[in-house]
């Protein structure tokens, strides 16, 4: 007996406190998982912006090269010059941008899926730990 309280009561209180700390840690883990997913999404959005910039640079270079080729042949630039070729390049550019965007959507969906799975697992473990801790607390107190 310490301070007039039985050892089993102190032990039960310790188990209860440990359970509470575990629960707080689990909530912290969930918060960190959400932050990590948010950072992954932000990083993917930045990569998309860089990909679109690179795509635009390549498109500008191709269009400039085609204008230079047309000029070298003595054709006035941008006046019915290889209109079908330019239209095809614009369509190719739009297709490339579409697939960059589609890739980003797929990546963001994958991040959301992984986050959901991790949070579900964490929530399940939290519930199991909470009920186990409550049971152990009362069991320890009852046996004491």
Give the model confidence (pLDDT) of 4-41 as tens digits: 566 667 777 777 788 888 888 888 888 998 999 999 99
pLDDT of residue 126: 81
31-60: per-residue pLDDT in tens? 998 999 999 999 999 999 999 999 989 988
pLDDT of residue 107: 92
- Please state, in angstroms and as integers, the Cα–Cα distance from residue 5 to each residue in 25, 98, 130, following that order: 29, 71, 25
67-107: per-residue pLDDT in tens? 777 777 766 655 655 667 778 888 888 999 999 999 999 99
pLDDT of residue 81: 57
Domain positions in the chain are 7-143
Kindly report the pTM of this predicted structure.
0.63
Q: Are 45 and 104 in contact (CB under 8 A)?
A: yes
Which pairs with CB-CB distance under 8 Å and at least 24 residues apart come from 45-50?
Answer: 45/104, 47/104, 48/100, 48/101, 48/103, 48/104
Q: What is d(CA 11, CA 141) in angstroms, rounded to the nearest whole number?
A: 8
pLDDT of residue 24: 86
82: helix, strand or coil: coil
pLDDT of residue 38: 93
């Amino acid at each position: 007996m310490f301070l007039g309280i039985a050892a089993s009561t102190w032990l039960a209180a310790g188990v209860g406190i440990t359970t509470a700390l575990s629960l707080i840690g689990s909530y912290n883990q969930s918060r960190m998982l959400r932050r990590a997913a948010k950072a992954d999404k932000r990083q993917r959005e930045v990569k998309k912006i860089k990909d679109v910039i690179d795509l635009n640079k390549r498109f500008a270079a191709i269009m400039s090269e085609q204008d230079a080729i047309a000029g070298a042949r003595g054709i006035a630039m941008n006046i019915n010059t290889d209109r079908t070729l330019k239209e095809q390049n614009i369509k190719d550019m739009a297709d490339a941008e579409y697939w960059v965007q589609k890739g980003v959507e797929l990546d963001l969906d994958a991040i959301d899926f992984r986050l959901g799975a991790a949070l579900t697992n964490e929530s399940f473990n939290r519930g199991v730990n909470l009920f186990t801790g409550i049971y152990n607390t009362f069991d320890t107190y009852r046996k004491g």
